[in-house]
Copies of this chain bind each other. A is one copy, B any other.
Amino acid sequence: MIIVMASCKQEDIDYVVSRIEALGYKGHVLKGVERTVIAAIGDERGKFRLQSLESLPHVEKVVPILKPFKLAGRELRSEPTVIQVGSAQIGGERLCVIAGPCSVESREQMLETARCVKEAGASALRGGAFKPRTSPYSFQGLEEEGLQLLQEAAQRYDMPFVTEVMTPEQVPLVERYADILQVGARNMQNFSLLKAAGKARKPVFLKRGMMSTINELLMSAEYILAEGNAQVILCERGIRTFETETRNTLDLSAVPVLKQLTHLPVVVDPSHSTGHWGLVNPMAKAAVVAGADGLMIEVHPRPSEAFSDGPQSLTPVHFHQLMDEIRRLLEIVGKTL
């Protein structure tokens, strides 16, 4: 950590050094032409207390040097994490396509969707049983019944399924049914839920919050990893910006950035990020080429009748067409479905 001093006396510098050393670091003073900086050298544990030195007189700013995550980083583990769930694989030389409706609405809807997406080549099923909705008056999901319908559809078509868990106490219930537990974007910094997910035995699908930096996404993954669950899948699903033509702004550059910073697999959700089905096809293909390990795509048999997220759902026909186009790209990218 680097502490930049405003112009001040030697005794002010000495005082900051004494405080650094009281916290167990070695302070190294570097006098420049216009500024003095002090490097705090030592193990990073407790560095968060160093940040409070910013309130000392004459300290202009405190600049951290190390990335704050460890287990999620490339330094402790350079080879990529590959997660195997039933017949699906996330990470490595395969592209995992997770498809299905936003909400589980009925048995017929789930079976029909599962059949379609399986035929088209999807590797896993998605569907929401517990729905985080901005309005209390919106459809809140079928809850446990939804989990049962998901399980039935997934088993019939031999795919694992991903579904969202919203509270720590729901984890055991959802884990009983689901193959992969999703932590949604609005819960990315629900730290109690992250800890509970970290104790689960199932892989965790962690969506980036629409307000969260890449660094914060990795810190949230770190919560799960630190509890002992090594199977974390990261998902870029759009961030909030000033642009309103799309629902959110898909930060596709986050894919290669994450690939540099972490060994965890990275999935892209072009449905939530764009909010319009007509944009899903080009952004899904762009994600594959940018290096994503997987895609999460909303598919609904009749989007205009969907209980939620109709405008961004693909019909089975459009999904089929997208999968055909992806297959051709995969030959170049050097992956398979």
- A317 at interface by CB-CB < 8 Å: no
A84: chain B residues at CB < 8 Å are none
Top 5 closest A-B pairs, CB basis? A211-B211, A52-B310, A286-B286, A186-B189, A54-B311
Residue of B241, B274, B309 touching A241 (CB-CB under 8 A)? B241
Q: Is the CB of A34 within 8 A of B66?
A: yes
The verdict on A156 contacting chain B, using a C-beta distance below 8 Å, is no
> Is A278 in contact with chain B by the CB < 8 A criterion?
yes
Chain A contact residues, majority secondary structure: mixed
Quick one: which of A252-268 are within 8 Å of B by CB? 252-257, 260
Output the least CB separation between A252 and chain B (Å). Answer: 5
The count of residues in chain A whose C-beta lies closer than 8 Å to any C-beta of chain B is 109
Minimal beta-carbon separation of A217 from chain B (angstroms): 10
Sampled A-B contacts (26; CB under 8 Å): A33-B42, A35-B65, A37-B39, A45-B137, A48-B138, A48-B308, A49-B307, A51-B310, A52-B311, A55-B304, A55-B313, A133-B191, A135-B222, A136-B219, A169-B169, A210-B211, A211-B240, A239-B242, A241-B242, A243-B251, A246-B257, A250-B253, A253-B279, A282-B289, A328-B332, A329-B332
Contact A55 B282 (CB under 8 A): no
Interface centre among A56, A214, A251 (most CB of B within 10 A): A251
What chain B residues lie within 8 Å of A253 (beta carbons)?
A: 246, 249-250, 273-274, 279, 283
B286 touches A257 (CB 8 A): no
Known contacts: A249-B251, A310-B52. The answer to whether A282 contacts B291 by CB under 8 A is yes
Residues B241 and A54 in contact, CB atoms below 8 Å apart: no
Interface residues of A (CB under 8 A from B): 2, 4, 7, 19, 28, 30-35, 37, 39, 41-45, 48-49, 51-56, 63, 65-66, 68-69, 75, 132-139, 166-170, 186-187, 189-193, 209-216, 219, 222-223, 226, 239-246, 249-257, 260, 273-274, 277-279, 282-283, 285-291, 303-311, 313, 328-329, 332
Determine if A136 and B226 form an interchain contact, defined as CB atoms under 8 angstroms apart. Answer: yes
**Complex Cα gap A75–B33 (Å):** 14
CA distance A4 to B279 in the complex (A): 20
* Bound-state Cα–Cα, A252 to B311, Å: 20
Alpha-carbon distance between A252 and B254 when the two chains are bound, in angstroms: 12
Per a CB cutoff under 8 Å, which of B69, B255, B257, B278 touches A260? B278
Q: Which residues of chain B are within 8 angstroms of A37 by Cβ–Cβ distance?
A: 2, 39, 65
By beta carbon, the residue of chain B nearest A303 is: B55
* A250 / chain B contacts, CB cutoff of 8 Å: 251-253
Q: A10 to chain B: closest CB distance in Å?
A: 18
Q: Which residues of chain B come closer than 8 Å to A277, judged between CB atoms?
A: 55
A260, closest chain B residue (CB): B278
Give the nearest-CB partner of A71 in chain B: B136
Q: Bound state CA distance, A286 and B313, in angstroms?
A: 22
Could you tell me if B65 and A216 are in contact, using CB atoms closer than 8 angstroms?
no
Nearest B residue to A2 via CB reads B2
A137 CA to B45 CA, complexed, in Å = 8
